[in-house]
Chains A and B, each alone.
Chain A
C-alpha cells in the first residue's frame, strides 16, 4: 500500500513539476502574444474539463446501472470529480479576458454584425461569465453530493441509501447533459459565433465520456499491476470497460459523421464554413488521421476479446486514444483561430496541454491518494465470470 502510495506520490511530484514549468513557459509566451497563449490554454482547459466532467457523468450512470466496470474505476472517477474546483480555476482566464478568444466579446465587432447583435442577449461577456460560474457551481455541488452520498452508502449499504444515491443520480445525469451542452456552446461553439449545430453538445458529451473512459482505464490498469490492490481488478471488469470504450468510439464516429453528412448535404452558407475551415488548409490530413486512428483502428482492435481482457493491451489502446482525444479537440477548436504562425501555435498548444494536464494530474493524484484505491470487495463469482459475449 505504502509502496503504491510512494510511487503515486513520485508521479504526482513529476506531474506538478512538468505542469508548473510548462505553465510558466506559457505565461512567458503570453507576455509576447497574449491571444496566442489564450487560444492554447483553451485547448488545455477543455481537454482536462472533459475528464473531470465525464467522470461526473459516468459516476451518475454507474450509480443508476451498477456493474463491475464501474467498481474498477469508481475511485478514479470520484477523485477526478474532486478536481472540479481546480478546473474552475483553470477557467479564470476565460472569465477575465473573453475578448482574447471570442469575437462576440468585442463590442465594435458586434456593432457591425446584425447576427451577433441578434445573439447578444446570450453571447455577451456578463452573461457568459455568469453562466460559467453557474455551471461550475452546479458541477462542484453535484460532485460533492454524489461523493458524500456514495460514501454514506458504502458505510451502510442499505436499500434506502442506495435509493437515495440513485434519486440524485437520475436527475443529476439530466442536469449534467444540459449544462455540459450549454458549456460546450459557450466555450467551443461560440468561437465561430455565426455557426451553430444542434449536435455540438452531443459530440462534446460523447468526447468527454470517451476521454474519461480512456483515462480511467489507464489508471485502473496501472493499479491492476500493483500488489496488493491488483486482486481487486478482474479481467471481466476490463472486458466490460473495453466494450464501453468500443461503444463510445462508435458513438463518437456516429455523431461526428452524422453532423458532417447533414451539413454537407444541405450545403448552406451559414453552416458549411465550419467544415471548409476544417477540411482545408492542411486540417483535412488531421481529419483523415482521426478517422483512421480515433475510429477505424481502435474499433477493429476493440472487437477482439483478447484486447479487452488483457488490461495492459486495453490500456495501450486507451492511451493512444487519449492522446488522440487532444488531437480531436485541436481539430474542433484550433481551425477557428487565424494563426499566422502555425508551428509556434502547435508548440504553444502542446505547452498548454502539458501545463493544464500536469497541474490537473497532480491535483487528481492527490485526490486519489487521499482515500482507498479500490471501491469494493473483490467481485463475487457472478462478476468474475468471463463475459461470454462479443
Chain B
C-alpha cells in the first residue's frame, strides 16, 4: 500500500463557506435577533403585508360566497369533479415538502449547509400545509361536516372508507402538519429564550418567555433538546415521503388514463421536493437581500439548492418520459389517446408550457454560471413553481375531461372564484410569512452559533 494517496474529490462549492468568515458568536446573535427586536419596521414590510392581507380578504370573501352559494360557483362539472381545489391542494402540499426535507433528512445525512435555511423553510412548510388544508375541506362541499372524515364511533353507524387514499390523506396530512409544527417549535425554543433575554420591553419579554418554556441553556436542557430534535427528525423523515405518496395514490389507484401509473409515488415525491426547493429559492433570494443576510445564506446554499432542483427535476422528467413510452408500449388505446390528448388536445398549451417549465428550462441549472447568478436562479425557481402547478393542472384536468366515453366528455374552465380562492391562498401564505419574519428569528441563532469557528472567543453568552 505504498501508493500515493489522495484526498476525496473536493467540491469547490464545499470550500465556499456556509457562513461568511469573521463572524463571532455575538455578531451572529446580534445580526439575526436584531431583525426581530428592532423597533423600526421597514416600510416595505408594511406594504408587503398590506398587499398580502388584502389578498387574505379576497380569500375570505371567496370562501364566504362559496359557503353561501355552494361549489357551483366554481368551474367544476361532471367529468371534471376535481378542478382547482385538488390542483391547488397538491401544489401547496408539494411546496410544503422542502421544509421538513431540509430540516429532517439533511440533518440526518449531516449536511451542515441546511442550517441557515431550515428555519424559514420549516415555517414555509407550515404555511403551505395550512393553505393546502383549506382546499379539500372546501371541496367536500359541506365543510361543516368535514369531521365525518375522521373515524369515530357515531350514531349513524357510518365509517369512512378505509381503502380509499383520500382517507389516508386525512391522516397523512394532519400527522405531517402536527409533526412539522412540533419540529419547528422545538427548534425555536433556544432562540425564543435568546429573544426573551434580549427583548427591551416587558410585554415582549413575557411573550417570548412564555414561549421559551423556561429555557435556561443548561447542559441538561441542551442534551434533552438535541435528543428530542433528532427523534423528531427521524419521525418527520418517513412523513415527508408518505404524504406525497398518499397524494399520488389518490390518482394512481384509480383507472383513469393518465392517473393510473405505478411510477406515480416516487415521481410525485420528487416533484414535491422539486417545487419545495424552488419555493425556498424564490423566498430566500429576496429575503437575504432585503435583510442583508448574505453572510448566512451564502451562494453555497443557493447553489446546493439549485443542484437539488436539477436532480429532482430530472426525476420528474424521467417520470414524464416513462409515462409516455409506457402509454404506447402498454398498447391500451385509452392510454395512447390520453397522451395524444395531452399533446394535441384542448389543453395542449398547458402541457407544452409544463414541459418548457419543468423539463427544458431547469436544464440551464447544469451551468455553474447560471447556478451562481441570483437573477437567473430566482427566475428559474419561479418558472419551476409555475411548471409544477401546470403539471397538476394537466394531470387533473386533461385526464378527467376526456376519459373512456366520448359522450361524457366536457371541458373545464376555471371561474373568477376559482382564481380568487387560489390567489387568496397565496396571499395567506405570504401574510403568514411576513408576520413570521417580523416576530420570530428566520434563521436559527442557536444552530448558526455552532457553525462559528471555535477560536472566535464568545464576547457574551446567553444564560
Contact = CB atoms under 8 A, between A and B. Distances in A.
Interface of A: 1, 63, 66-68, 70-71, 115, 118-119, 122, 153-155, 157, 159, 162-163, 165-166, 170-171, 174, 177-178, 181, 185, 194, 196-202, 228-229, 232, 243, 254-255, 258-259, 261-263, 265-266, 268, 270, 372-377, 387, 389-390
Nearest to A390: B108
Contacts of A165: 9
Given A196-B329, A261-B253, A376 B265 contact: no
B8 to A, nearest CB: 5
Given A162-B12, A196-B330, A198-B326, A154 B6 contact: yes
B249 interface: yes
B266 A255 contact: yes
Interface stretch (B149-157, B214-222, B254-262): B254-262
B249 A162 contact: no
Given A122-B329, A228-B1, A389-B107, A177 B253 contact: no
Contact of A162 (B1, B10, B163): B10
Contacts, number: 126
A223 B234 CA distance: 32
B318 interface: yes
Given A118-B331, A178-B318, A199-B263, A376 B6 contact: yes
A374 B163 CA distance: 52
B63 interface: no
B403 interface: no
A1 B253 CA distance: 57
Contacts of A268: 255, 260
A225 B235 CA distance: 36
23 contacts: A63-B9, A66-B14, A68-B8, A118-B331, A157-B10, A159-B10, A162-B11, A165-B9, A181-B322, A197-B262, A198-B262, A198-B264, A199-B263, A201-B322, A254-B265, A255-B265, A258-B264, A262-B249, A263-B262, A374-B5, A377-B5, A390-B108, A390-B234
B110 interface: yes
Nearest to A162: B9
B366 A198 contact: no
Given A201-B322, A266-B253, A119 B331 contact: yes
B305 interface: no
B110 A389 contact: yes
Interface string B290-313: 000000000000000000000000
A147 to B, nearest CB: 14
Given A181-B322, A389-B110, A66 B11 contact: yes
B22 interface: no
B323 interface: yes
B239 to A, nearest CB: 14
Interface in B118-144: none
Contacts of B66: none
B462 to A, nearest CB: 23
Nearest to A198: B263
B314 interface: yes
Given A202-B266, A270-B332, 15 more contacts: A66-B8, A71-B8, A119-B329, A122-B329, A181-B322, A196-B326, A197-B262, A197-B263, A198-B261, A228-B1, A259-B262, A262-B264, A266-B260, A387-B110, A390-B230
B241 interface: yes
B238 to A, nearest CB: 8
A196 B14 CA distance: 43
